[in-house]
Amino acid sequence: MEITCPVSFTDFDRVLLGHGSGGKLSRRLIDTIFYPAFKNEWLEQNHDGCVFPMNAGKLACSTDSFVVDPIFFPGGNIGDLAVNGTVNDLACCGADPMFLTVGFILEEGLPLSDLQKIVYAMKIAAEKADVRIIAGDTKVVAHGQCDKLFINTSGIGAVPPDVCISPSKAEPGDVVICSGNIGVHGITILSTRESLGFETTLESDTASLNKMTSKLVKTITDVHVLRDPTRGGVGTTLNEIAEASKVKIELDEARLPVPDAVRAASEILGLDPLYIANEGILLVILPEKHAGEAVALLQQFSEGRQTCVIGRVLEPGGASVSMKTIYGNHRIVTMLTGEQLPRIC
C-alpha cells in the first residue's frame, strides 16, 4: 500500500545531532513532525510520561524494536511495521491494544523528509488499529553509529475478563489455523536487498491483526493460543508453542498456504518457507469443534481471506513439531538454527 504523506522538507533538511539534545532543535522536531502526526489529548500533557485513567482488569504489555533494512520496502516502511508489530503482540495476548509509546534512534544525516514519511505511516497504522501514541523519545547518534533509524514501540492493551490466551494452552485435539499466506514479508524484504539480485512482485503483508483477534476471542471463548509468526517463521513459533504446552504438533504440508512467488524465491535462495518471517498473519490454536466457525470468522476480514487449517495438536509429551509432506512421509520441523535473514523486522 502506497502512502502519500504531506512532505514539508527538502533534501537538504537532515537530522542533526542537536535534534537529540533535549533543547530547541528537539522541540522543533516534535513540533514539525511528531505532534502534527500523533497529536492527541494524552500526548499534549507534554510531560516526561503520560498519565491516563484505566479501569480495573487484566492489562497486556509488550515491547519490540525495529531495525528493518531497507527502511522503505514494497507494502510498507519501518514506521507502519513498528506500529503493527506491537499491536499484533498485544492482540496475540488476547488484548485490545490501546496505547503505544515510540522511541526513535536516528542517525545524524537522515533526511527529515524520510522521517516525516515514516512518522506519517505510523499515524495511519495507529488510526487503522485504533491505538493512540501517547509518549515518545528521540535520540540522535553520529553518522555511522546506527543505520538510518531504529524504532522501538511498546504498548498497553486491555484483556477482556474471560479471555485467557497462552502459548502453554495448546491441547491434544486442537487444530492449528493460519490466517494467511506464509513467507510474504521475509521474501519481500529479501527482494529489496540489491546483492541478492532477484525481483518479485510481492508486497509485505504488514497489517494490524487486532480487529480479527478481538472478534475471534469475543465470539469463541476457548481460543487456546494466538501467535503472529514473525522472526523465526511458522516453524519456530510452533516449536515454541509445542515446548510451552508440552505437546506434539503435526503440520500438513499440502495445506500450507505458500504463494508461488514465495515458493519460487525460497527455492532459488535455498530457504524453507516455514522459517521465513511474516508480519500480517496469525496462528490460532483451538479445539477442533470450533475450527469451522473460526475459519469462517477470520475469512470475513481482508487480512484473513486465506485462512485455513494447517495442522493439529497430537498427544502430549515430546514437545515437537512434525510435518506430513506432500509425498505422504513425515519430517521433523525444528526451531530455526542460525540466522536466515538479518534485519527482517
Site for its own copies, residues 141 to 180, rule: CB under 8 A: 141-142, 144-147, 150, 152, 154-157, 159, 166-168
User: Of 170-178, 278-286, 301-309, 336-344, which segment contacts its own copies by CB under 8 A?
Assistant: 336-344
According to DSSP, residue 150 is labeled E
Give the separation between CA 176 and CA 294, rounded to whole angstroms. Answer: 11
Do strands 321-324 and 247-252 pair parallel, antiparallel, or not at all (unpaired)? parallel
Q: What is the H or E stretch that residue 310 is in?
A: strand 308-316
Q: Show the site string, 236-275: x = touches its own copies by CB under 8 A, - = not.
A: x---x---x------------------------------x
C-beta of 7 vs 164, nearer to its own copies: 164
Nearest approach, Cβ of residue 135 and its own copies (Å): 5
Selected from 232, 257, 304, 311, the binder of its own copies by CB under 8 A is 232
Task: Look at residues 269, 294, 305, 185 and name the one whose alpha carbon lies nearest to residue 233.
Answer: 185
Nearest approach, Cβ of residue 227 and its own copies (Å): 7
For 248, the grid coordinates are 506434539
User: Of 4-12, 181-189, 295-303, 334-342, which segment contacts its own copies by CB under 8 A?
Assistant: 334-342
Selected from 6, 49, 197, 270, the binder of its own copies by CB under 8 A is 49
**SS3 state at 251:** strand
What is the layout of strands, in order, in the sheet containing 321-324?
225-227, 283-287, 174-178, 308-316, 247-252, 321-324, 330-333
335 makes contact with its own copies (CB under 8 A): yes
Selected from 14, 224, 227, 290, the binder of its own copies by CB under 8 A is 227
In which region does residue 289 sit, left (phi positive, over 0), alpha (psi from -120 to 50) or beta (all else)? alpha
